[in-house]
Amino acid sequence: MESDWLISAISDKKNMTRAAIEELVKQKQTEFPGRSEDAILRMLATENGIIPIKRDFKTGEIKEEINHVNITASVWKKFPKREINLRGGKSTVLNFIISDETGSINVVVWDTNKAESIDKDAKSGSRITLVNCYSKRNKLTGNYELHVGKNTAIKITDGVAQPSHKKEEMRFSSLRDITEDGKLYRAEVFLMRVFTDNTFLTRCKICNKKVNETCEVHGKEAISKILMISGIVDDGVTSSRATFFDRVADKLLSISKLQDLNMKLEDLSTGMYQLDITCSLNRFGEYTSLNVKDVKSADYATSDSTQK
């Protein structure tokens, strides 16, 4: 259950017993009446720098229906693909079994293109990564199985290094390893919060100083406003403040499909969006912040992972 995982994560982070955490949840429910136990646990997790969504699983952990599952395992057995009749026409379905050190689970592939690709590329012993699949209980067997849909990203490897003709990409760094001024880093993070009180930066175009309404030297005519979005990002271990300016702020806003600016900001602040950012470190005395130079969605349906 998600609540068990959250309690375990908070326990590890705060060195608290399960009983102490459950007592804290009761206290918080008194403070915030109407909130469920799971909601309180997610709040406590966020307060302690824990992303309150478990996405990476082992086969033996799939014991309930889960909407978003990431898993890497070995292909143990693959069954012949078959055609079935659906309302919209015929579709190809493929079943195969994956296994890891915790057990095994059946995988059902409903997307015709993905079924054809897996049938062609995967063999017994292949390593396969499924990103954003979901688990469902089979009504006939009573067992849980994984379902691969159109938004599932798939990567298959056989342990043999394949030559790459792509330009080598910058490796991901954890936030706590971003320590050098002036150096570019790449990180995969969750956007935990967006500050909506000030989304524009007012500067003088001539002296480049931050001003309010007018520049004391060059007057109002020299004033320019650029979009500036600040927020908190988290990679599961460390949190950091991050700022997105101008073109990069526009790219961040485009990740949300909503139209109104305020609605976009609210969506980004609450939607737990996963981002792939390129950034540098800024220091302000004893405080630090990330200046984001580029951003793109690391959402599972559009990530750089090989999609089959």
Is the overall model pTM greater than 0.75, yes or no? no
> Does residue 162 surpass a pLDDT of 60?
no
Q: By CB neighbour count within 10 A (0-12 exposed, 13-18 middle, 19+ buried), where does 16 fall?
A: middle
Residue 307: pLDDT band by 50, 70, 90 thresholds? Answer: very low
If asked whether residues 194 and 286 sit together in one domain, one would say yes
Tens of pLDDT, residues 253-267: 888 888 888 888 888
Compute the average pLDDT of residues 34-48: 79
Instruction: Judge if 259 and 193 occupy the same domain.
Output: yes
Are residues 255 and 209 part of one domain? yes
More confident residue, 196 or 72: 72
Under 8 Å between Cβ of 268 and 231: yes
Q: Is 177 helix (H, G, I), strand (E, B) or coil?
A: helix
Domain that holds residue 65: 56-157
Least Cα distance to 126 among 154, 92, 151, 87 occurs for 154
Q: CA-CA distances (angstroms) from residue 4 to 8, 183, 191, 304?
A: 6, 40, 24, 32
* 91 and 43 share one domain: no
Question: What angle do helix axes 37-47 and 18-31 make, rounded to 10 degrees?
Answer: 110
As a whole-number percent, the residues of the chain with pLDDT over 90 amount to 20
pLDDT in tens, 227-236: 889 999 988 8
154 contacts 117 by C-beta, under 8 angstroms: yes
Domain total of the chain: 3
CB 299 within 8 A of CB 257: no
pLDDT band at 292 (very low <50, low <70, confident <90, very high): very high
Rounded distance between C-alpha atoms, residue 189 and residue 175, angstroms:
9
Question: Do 146 and 61 fall into the same domain?
Answer: yes
Residues with Cβ within 8 Å of 243's Cβ and at least 6 positions away in sequence, in order, are: 228, 229, 230, 282, 289, 290, 291, 292
- For position 190, which CATH number holds? 2.40.50.140
Structure tokens at 192: 């935990």
Do 258 and 229 lie in a common domain?
yes
Task: Identify whether residues 78 and 6 lie together within a single domain.
Answer: no
Among candidate residues 97, 126, 157, the one where a domain is terminated: 157
- For 178-197, the pLDDT digits (tens) are 998 878 899 988 899 898 87
Mean pLDDT, rounded, for 132-156: 86
For residue 175, the 8-state DSSP code is G
- Would 230 be classed as within a structural domain? yes
The two three-digit tokens of residue 155, written as one number: 């990567």
Q: Quick one: what percent of the chain has pLDDT higher than 70?
A: 82
Establish if 169 belongs to a structural domain.
Answer: no
| 35 lies in the same domain as 61 | no
Q: What is the pLDDT of residue 257?
A: 84
165 within a domain of the structure (yes/no):
no
123 and 79 Cβ atoms separated by less than 8 Å: no
- Per-residue model confidence as pLDDT tens digits over 61-71: 888 888 888 89
Are 122 and 81 within 8 A, CB to CB?
no
Q: By C-alpha distance, which of 138, 233, 234 is closest to 195? A: 233
Same-domain check for residues 234 and 142? no
With cut-offs at 50, 70 and 90, classify the pLDDT of residue 165: very low
User: Residue 308 domain-assigned?
Assistant: no
User: Does residue 167 fall inside a structural domain?
Assistant: no
112 & 195 share domain: no
